[in-house]
Structure formats: C-alpha cells, structure tokens
Amino acid sequence: MRFRSGSDIPFLFGVLHHIFKNGWEDTKYINDRVYGMDKVKEEVMAKWTPDKVEEACGVNEATVLKVATMMSQNRPSTIVWCMGQTQHTTGNAIVRASCILQLALGNVGKSGGGTNIFRGHDNVQGATDVGPNPDSLPGYYGLAEGSWKHFAKVWGVDFDWIKAKYASPAMMGKPGITVSRWIDGVLEKNEFIDQDSNLRGVFYWGHAPNSQTRGLEMKRAMDKLDLLVVVDPYPSATAAMAAMPGKAEDQNPNRAVYLLPAATQFETSGSVTASNRSVQWREKVIEPLWESRSDHMIMQQFADRLGFGKELSKNFKMQQVKGMDEPAPEDILREINKSCWTIGYTGQSPERLKAHMRSMHLFDVKTLKSKGGKDKESGYDTTGDYFGLPWPCWGTPEMKNPGSPNLYDTSKHVMDGGGNFRANFGVEREGKTLLAEDGSHSLGADITTGYPEFDHLLVKKLGWWTELTDAEKTAAEGKNWKTDSSGGIIRVVMKNHGCHPFGNAKARAVVWNFPDAIPQHREPLYGTRPDLMAKYPTHDDKKTFWRLPTLYKTLQDKNIADKVHEKFPLIMTSGRLVEYEGGGEETRSNPWLAELQQEMFIEINPKVAAEKGIRNGERALVSTPTGARLNVQALVTERVGPDTVFMPFHFSGRWQGADMLAYYPAGAAPVVRGEAINTGTTYGYDSVTMMQETKTTVCNVERA
C-alpha cells in the first residue's frame, strides 16, 4: 500500500482501528501478555477514524480495511522493514506502532509472525550487539557503575583503572554523541554541548560519509578537525571530501588525515551475527593483501601505542599474521561468551559454531533445527540445536542450550528455544501488574504465572539455592542473572525449573518513559503539508539530548513561516539498491557490479516529469533547502507517486555537479561516481534513538 512518507502511524493505527471495530483482536493474548492495550484502543478508536487516516496518509478506508481483513484472517502474519520505519523523527514510535499491531493480533512469539527488521548486510546485528552504541556497553548493558564493574571483572582489570581513563566521572556514566550528530559535536558552540570540549578527532571506521545526512555541513566539520582517520578497505568518499577545498574560514591548518587499509571479510576470520540473530563463523580465505590489517589487529596496535595493550588483550592468545601480533578471534568470542549474559551470547562457543558451519547439511532450512548427527571433525552432536545458535543461547556452552529461533515463543520449553516477555520494567504500574497472567508461561515451566527477574534472593526464596554448586554460590552471591559470572543462576532456573532468568512479564503497549507513551503521528520537520504540520506538530526542542541541543518545533515552525513547501514541493526519500551496499565505495569499485548501475539517478513520477519537461534518461537538477544542487539522471517511473521522488544513497564521488576524481588517492577512485543524496538531506533526528531522518525531506526538481 503506497502511503505518504512519514505517515506510517496513521496507516498502522488505521488498520488497528478496523481490527478493534470488528473484534478481531486476540483478547486472551492481550489479557495474558500485554500491558496498556486498553489505553491504545481508546486512542485509536477516537483519533484514527478512516477519514483522519486518509487525510494523513492518503490511503482510503476500503484499502485499509482490506489490509486489516487479510492480516486478521491469515494469522500469523508478519511486518518487515529495513530502514523505512526507523529513519524519521518519529522512528521509535513507528516501530512501536508496528509492534502494537502485532500484539493486538497475537502475532508476536509465533513462527511466521513478529516484527522483523532486515539488516543491510551481514554482522550489522553482531556489531550492534557488542557495544558500538554510545549509550551502552556490550550486550546492551547500561552505563551504570554495576555494569562497568561487571565488565571490569570479565576483562580482568581494575574498575578504578577504567574510571581514571575518563576526563571526568560524568563522561563515563552518560550517553555520548551519536555518529549521526558528530557534525554538531564539532560545529556547535561548546557552551551548548554537555561535555567539556567539542569533538576534535573523528575515526571513520567502515563508515561511509555519503550514508549520513547534511553533507554540506559535514564537509565544514571535517575541515575544522584536528584529526581525521579513515579505516576502510577503500579510501571512501571521506578521503576525497577531506582533500577537497572548503571554505577558508573552516580550514584547520594543523589537521592531520590518515588512511588505514583494513582487511576485507575474506582476509580475516571470526563470528558474525545475521538479522535473525544466528551466529556464523567466517573463515579466512587469503592472507591480508599489501599493508591491510584486520580490524582487531588495528585495535590492538592502537591500544599498544596508547599504553593499554596488555589490558585489552589480557584474555586473548596472540597469533602471528604477516609477522605481527593479532588477537585470536576465537578468544574474542570467548570473552563475549563470558560477559554478555543479558542477551544470551554465552552458549555460542567457537567450537560449536565451527561444527555448525561444517554440518550445514544437517539443519532444516525452514525451522533451522538440526535433523540430528555429528560433526565428523569434532564429534560434536548437533541434535536439538538451531543453526547458528541464535541468541539468546543461554548458559555456558556445556549447558547445550539450542538457541532461540523465535523470541517470546511460549509454546516451547526454555531449553528448546522457548521464551516469554522480559520483566525489564518492574512488577506493577499505576496499580496494574506488569507480570504475565496465570497460565501464561513457557511450556513446562515450574512457575505458571508471571514472575520478576531472578537474582540471588529470589533463587533462595524459592528454595533453589541448594541446586547451585559451591563455586556457583560464591559467584552468584549478591548478584542477579546478568552479573553472575558462573552462569549458575541461569543454569538452575532454566535447566532445572523451565523458567526464564529475565522473568515473565507483559509486553508494554504503553511506554511511559518515552516522549509519547502511546505512539503519536508527528509531521516531519521538512514537509509539503503545512496544514498537517499544524495539526500534528513535532516534538518540542531539547536543550541537551545525547549531549547536544536538538531542534524540533523551532525548526518546523520556521519552515512553515518561510513557506519552504512552496519552494520545495516534492517529498524526497532515499534507500537501497540490490546492486550496491552501504556507501557503495567497495561495490562501485568492482567493475562487474559497477556495470549493473552506472548512474546516480532520481525516480520521478510521469506526471511530475511531464510538468517539468524531463524525459526518461535526461539529466535532472535536484535542489534542497540546504543549498545543495545535485545533477543526476532521471528515471521516469510510476514506482513513486506524484508527490514523491526517490534516490539511492550508495553514490559518492561527485559534489554539486563536479567530479571528485582528483581528490581520491591515485588509483583508488571508484569506477562509478555520482552525486550523494545526503549532500542535500536536511536536519532531523529521532526523539529517542537520534537516528537521522533520511526517509522524508523536501526538494525541487528541474531539467538540467
């Protein structure tokens, strides 16, 4: 169903309106396993009537009803997105609206159901899991002192030693600046930033600048830095942007730029985690070419030079690669296994994963479950395992938990991949229980009602403490299941009693600690409908959000007052192509792939093309409120509506009409170069995650 970009919530809640109206919701599931759906129902029925839905998203009542009917009569159904739901100022609310719709239908925790985000390439999920986000430690442990102490013990270093590495204690315990906002970490006045200094150095480690918004301001920020480092198999557009002349007032004469060649996936080995949370072991095909080095070797060498190399690799054996020390990736995974109890990254030992890779033929391609049999090389019996031991895979490898193919599935025993909703948010709210109702539990659980997270006190209260070994008792005393390094609490709770260590609670349809407890439709900061901006305004500005001031209402109101929609009457959105990946530097440098899509293009509806006098294949000039003017090829197609244009984000190498070839290192420029859409994308960030808003801004298109 084609709807106006950014109007996902009206569409989703329009579908939910018909489900409630016709009594198609799963009332038992909601009663047993969902908190706050009654409040959502009140709002949806009052606010998102068919006329309001059509006004906001452009989809008529009959079409919305058709979707509601199809989903209700064909259960379980699923909802899948890539970046389309997340890259909005309301991305968090859109995702939650999808989850609420699936909860209402009872589709969560069932094979074929759920809400599923597809990642762009392998190990995006795995990278996220081990701590690059500036608001968490590995395994999504928060930045609280207890979390730091847990990892200090795992790493074998003193907590106070870690603390001393921070310029101030405050820096250690609060979220940092997100990658989406590093530009403002450089350009914003320091008096408005919640840290002592502006950013002075930036590492682009496997990150493409053309996949990030506000390209014109990014160039200014690059020029002001003291240090810019690009770690990548290819120089990427970062290197060319850094070399390209900028404004004189932005130049830092002392800036240093370094290119460090990283090895590709074929030149190293280690574990990678896919969208479905299955972990696979990647084998090295060739030794790193020329001067390239693996990411973990580069990290180790930086740590050595910065004076904490021994602490970084305390738990790792070193292997020799091209005459240099490299931490063994098997030991890196073992350290993850020892620490990330929160999401069950503890059972996927290198030995089990390698046995899975050698025994792929033993696994059913639909259920992921092993048909039974032993890996000939190791003798490991895969019987009962799910391929890749998708997290959560609880306990130590010796516990032989099979992994969890579907989250929250109560139809299976917890030792066969079953589960329920976590008790992350307490046990009651406003006098109502947050725990699951009687009879709602994973198959075979000894506790047949809702229960909180397990810690040493609850285990003792239930009389299960005696089932821990003496060594486990020592490790678990004073701890909860997330910080018990022995895994004893998890072993006893799961294996002996069929319960989940994280408790058994209700999913939250109402999230009281988010800006909107119930998802609200809010118009984008840059839009073509000022009438709807007035009716569904954005959030208020935030003085400090991830350490930075963040604009919402002020900017939206200014755009309305300046009548930006009249100068830029088309919605501009972006996304992926099959031919290219990420920023496209690697794939556009491959002559076979480059041949498949040789031009950066804009998709334009035939009606708009006719009005503008643009024919298919001709050049078009795209202008945006940032001052960008992008020269691209026109693709006239009905794949986009008359109100919308689409451009892929994989292109770089041209800048405001000029070829950047001269600014790439000799011989390193990609075969195909084109304008980057994000040279022209505008300001806008999600109100919880700070994800950039790339899916809806505005532009004008003319014949070039």
Mean pLDDT within 368-380: 93
In a 10 Å sphere around its CB, with 0-12 CB exposed, 13-18 middle and 19+ buried, how is residue 474 labelled? exposed
pLDDT in tens, 175-232: 999 999 999 999 999 999 999 999 999 999 988 899 999 999 999 999 999 999 999 9
* One-letter-per-residue 3-state SS of 96-151: HHHHHHHHHCCCCCCCCCCEEECCCCCCHHHHHHCCCCCCCCHHHCCCCHHHHHHH
Percentage of the chain exceeding pLDDT 90:
94
**pLDDT bracket for residue 340 (50, 70, 90):** very high
Q: Look at the block and give the residue holding tokens 């003798």.
A: 379
Q: CA–CA distance from 382 to each of 354, 363, 649 (Å)?
A: 11, 9, 42
Q: Which two tokens stand for residue 567?
A: 């100068």
Partners of 381 in beta bridges: 374
pTM: 0.96
Mean pLDDT within 429-448: 96
pLDDT at 242 over 90: yes
CA distance 391 to 100: 23
pLDDT at 329 over 90: yes
Domains, the chain, ranges and CATH? 8-117 (3.40.228.10), 277-404 (no CATH), 428-505 (no CATH), 530-703 (2.40.40.20)
| Long-range contacts of residues 409-412, Cβ cutoff 8 Å, at least 24 apart | 409/109, 409/110, 409/111, 409/442, 410/109, 410/440, 410/441, 410/442, 410/443, 411/110, 411/443, 412/442, 412/443
**pLDDT bracket for residue 121 (50, 70, 90):** confident
Q: What is the average pLDDT score of the chain?
A: 96
CA distance 342 to 345: 8
Mean pLDDT within 550-555: 98
Q: Which two tokens stand for residue 163?
A: 């603390």
CA distance 370 to 359: 9
CA distance 632 to 625: 17
pLDDT in tens, 457-501: 999 999 999 999 999 999 999 999 999 999 999 999 999 999 999
CA distance 129 to 337: 12
Look at residue 236 in the predicted model and tell me its pLDDT.
85
Mean pLDDT within 362-371: 94
**pLDDT bracket for residue 118 (50, 70, 90):** confident
CA distance 306 to 299: 10
User: Are residues 192 and 219 in contact, defined by beta-carbon separation less than 8 angstroms?
Assistant: no
Look at residue 346 in the predicted model and tell me its pLDDT.
95
Look at residue 122 in the predicted model and tell me its pLDDT.
81
Q: Reduce the DSSP state of residue 264 to 3 states and report it.
A: coil
Phi, psi dihedrals of residue 395, rounded to the nearest 5°: 75, -175
Alpha carbon of residue 435 to chain centroid? 28
User: Are residues 399 and 347 in contact, defined by beta-carbon separation less than 8 angstroms?
Assistant: yes
Mean pLDDT within 21-50: 98
